[in-house]
Structure 1
């Protein structure tokens, strides 16, 4: 497989901005920083807790990952492509997918966990696929944010977006998001987030048993 050159910085930003403009940002996700539980200044009131209200240092360079956002070969990471393969690269904040026969390759920008203690790396696989997922905070999230509801049904306020892929690790998902500001940033309590348009594509391409590697 020949390697594709790194994406042009300006082209990537333009594409990401265009996708973001089509999304609906859930109201509560704008209201609180869900990792610290502190209100976000100027937030819009609402009703959705989220593992990924935008969390970042406004003074920091948020675009440093773009230089490493490039196509990859699957061979350094997987022995075979049996059941297809997903590589979640936390450094470049990108998700790579290869089909079982090697004819399909996709590259998506992603969000990543907000801190090292919430980050899990290693090999897992898809064990469940859900369209219109519901969401419930984990026990640890509830401890940090007791004001959060115990359950959020599917819909535009749901932090898992339109589709979700359950991994074999408890509480870990690859999922969509209605808050498009999260993509490319540290903005989750452990999961990997994609634009809704992209998680739908990945959902359609994958199956139960698709291998997943987080590095």
Structure 2
């Protein structure tokens, strides 16, 4: 009886705190369950969110698609990213991809690499989600995670995420997300100029 009362009291405190935060004008994105964020999802603004391990562990696999070593090949339908190693092998990572209506294909090159990148939502995203911040500095709560690799002149990136549970899902607005652990590993292996082939 005492334990049940304590649990009920704790739940009421949490709910009251959320209501008070709303009343004080904190933006809705602290509470939204929307996934309409390039690389974010529900709760990605939680302070101190852990990076976590990917539910799809990276591994060396057989790969004979004919791409040169060092090429990144992304299979959107499979929700996997391959770094071609040569000798018929590739390093395979689990990724999150764009949801319906936001998936795309083509060939680009990595045009820039950034550690703990800042994030400025593009205009089209702000039109869909005017409650989003106009700019976020880099850090653990930033939706781009620990590393970002920019794809040509597009708005898209291969980047980290502090929501490992979304790896293998279609939840982004076109970017390819990885766990912070995996994106840091990939980042260390590829230079600016790396060819990226996206198969939709």
TM-score under structure 2 length normalisation: 0.70
Q: Cα offset for 1:111?
A: 0.1
3-state SS, counterpart of residue 160 of structure 2: strand
Confirm or deny that 1:180 pairs with 2:171: no
Partner of 2:32: 31
Change (3 A) 1:189 1:53: same
State how far apart, in whole Å, the 2-side matches of 1:209 and 1:102 are: 22
- Aligned pairs for 1:1-215 within 5 A: 28=29, 31-35=32-36, 51-53=39-41, 71-76=61-66, 78=67, 80-81=68-69, 84-99=70-85, 105-116=90-101, 118-215=102-199
Check the 8 A contact 2:63/2:88 in 1, yes or no.
no
Q: Cα offset for 1:73?
A: 1.9
Unmatched runs of 5 consecutive residues or more in structure 2:
1-28, 43-55
3-state SS, counterpart of residue 177 of structure 1: coil
Larger radius of gyration, structure 1 or 2? Answer: 2
Unmatched runs of 5 consecutive residues or more in structure 1:
1-27, 36-48, 55-65
Count of paired positions? 157
Change (3 A) 1:33 1:103: same
TM-score under structure 1 length normalisation: 0.65
3-state SS, counterpart of residue 129 of structure 1: strand
Change (3 A) 1:176 1:113: same
Partner of 2:11: none
Check the 8 A contact 1:52/1:182 in 2, yes or no.
no
3-state SS, counterpart of residue 203 of structure 1: helix
3-state SS, counterpart of residue 95 of structure 1: strand
Q: Cα offset for 1:71?
A: 3.3
* 1:3-23 C-alpha deviation (Å, 9 max, x unpaired): xxxxxxxxxxxxxxxxxxxxx
